[in-house]
Structure 1
Amino acid sequence: IASDLNGWEACYEKAKHLHPGQAPKRSHGYTMYHGTHKSNAPAIISTGFRPSMGGTLGPGVYCSRDINKAMAYPGSCATNDRVVLKLRVRVGKVKKIDAQSIHLQTTWHQNGYDTAWLPSTMGGYEEDCVWDPKRLTVVGIAHCTDSSTKTSLENLIKQQGNGTGQGQTGSVGVPCTSCGKQTLDKHTVEKCWACKIAICAFMDKHVCLKV
């Protein structure tokens, strides 16, 4: 943290958001997206995901770090009925599915992996399949054309406690009242030496009113 007598500027690590071609690292948590019908979204937020029985990568919960992939799902409903959930995903042990590992396309979990990763180089948008739904936490609404539905879903996320639905794990915390960032532990708040305004060290920047 760089500071002076009239304020400070803080640097912090934002939520890890991988580019489509970047390989996810084992045991890390990442921002990803899941498209669903707006009528299904409340149940997902409240009780967690129900894994699909099959798909390109076999059974599991499908999501993508590329919002464009999630925006196309479900394919059977109208665009205005689609909701894209913003997720925090703890990937665990990841298996990249490419030409060399195509034989594990639907059997990766039986071989000890928690997540299968299908990169965009395999002919489409990047895609992930997570075996255990408890590894996914809904933390926000990335897309919803109906403002009232979006507000309702966002309120539901808050009601679940720390942005984590029942049956989900990996809490992302609550917003700090000073910096607004998610936190599991309460941030220490200090006062600016000059203007005496309360400042959290994780704020992007504080501009002193007396400068």
Structure 2
Amino acid sequence: MDLEEITFSGWTAIEEKKLHAGEKPKDEKVYTMYHGTFLKYVQRIITSGFQRSSDGMLGSGVYVSRNIDKAKCYPLNADKKEAVVLKLKVRVGKVKKIDIDNHPLQKSWHQNGYDSCWVPPNCGVTAIKSGREEDCVWDPARIVVVDVACCLDDKTRWDLRKQIRGMNNHGAKDGCSQCHQNTSNTGSHPIQSCWTCNKQICPFQKKHMCNK
């Protein structure tokens, strides 16, 4: 497995490198993904989490993508002023690849023991006209909102980011307050003080700058 080292004061965190567009998500890993939705729904998502859709191309679940351009296409036919793209951390669990039309598990992957499913880019699934990859996650608790990736109104984006930081700092939705990874299946992360600046850090966060 390809790994990269991320070093900061007193700690070295190991995490998986970013996947290439056509590379399958590895079981049980955490990935950055995106979700496009209406602005009017964002505050509820931040405070209460996602809700599974009742149906869709891949059945019931929360639809996300590692491709931000895919997320920018949603909601369909929405005024861009009313659309927001959320940046997420997603713990994918056990992943099923769906790469053909009418796949036997296209809508029943969860009932067959999978936590999420993945449609590779340009695989020929006719329902995805753009050819961009798509993911569907069964359990909303596997998803943590970490930022606002796209929002036309600067003040709204700032207010939403402030709300997200506030929720994460209070441990909402089973997310680590420092690295923002979903901890619902792993237990809380060991938050400790940096031995240089004494700021609270998580050994799994990507970077840390000491306050001097």
Aligned match of 1:126: 133
Aligned match of 1:115: 116
Q: Give the 3-state SS of the residue equivalent to 1:17 in structure 2.
A: coil
Q: Give the 3-state SS of the residue equivalent to 2:161 in structure 1.
A: helix
Contact 1:19-1:65 within 8 A present in 2 as well: no
How far 1:160 moved relative to its partner?
1.3
Aligned match of 1:43: 44
Distance 1:39-1:164 versus aligned 2 partners, 3 A rule: farther
TM-score (norm 2): 0.75
Aligned match of 1:160: 167
Contact 1:94-1:116 within 8 A present in 2 as well: yes
Aligned match of 2:157: 150
Q: Give the 3-state SS of the residue equivalent to 1:156 in structure 2.
A: helix
- Which deviations, in whole Å up to 9, do the C-alpha atoms of 1:52-106 show, x marking residues without a partner? 1111111000000000000000013112221110000010000011239811111
Contact 1:54-1:60 within 8 A present in 2 as well: yes
- Supply the distance in 2 between the matched residues of 1:141 and 1:15 (Cα, whole angstroms): 23
Contact 1:10-1:204 within 8 A present in 2 as well: no
Bigger-Rg structure (1/2): 1
Q: How many residues align?
A: 187
Percent identity over paired residues: 42
Contact 2:26-2:95 within 8 A present in 1 as well: yes
Q: Give the 3-state SS of the residue equivalent to 1:44 in structure 2.
A: helix
Structure 2, gaps ≥5 residues long: 125-130, 180-188
- Supply the distance in 1 between the matched residues of 2:80 and 2:19 (Cα, whole angstroms): 26
- Which deviations, in whole Å up to 9, do the C-alpha atoms of 1:142-190 show, x marking residues without a partner? 111111110111111122133754xx22x23227xxxxxxx85224232
Distance 1:135-1:73 versus aligned 2 partners, 3 A rule: same
Among residues 135, 139, 149, which one is paired with 2:142 in the alignment? 135
Q: Does residue 173 of structure 1 match 2:160? A: no
TM-score (norm 1): 0.76
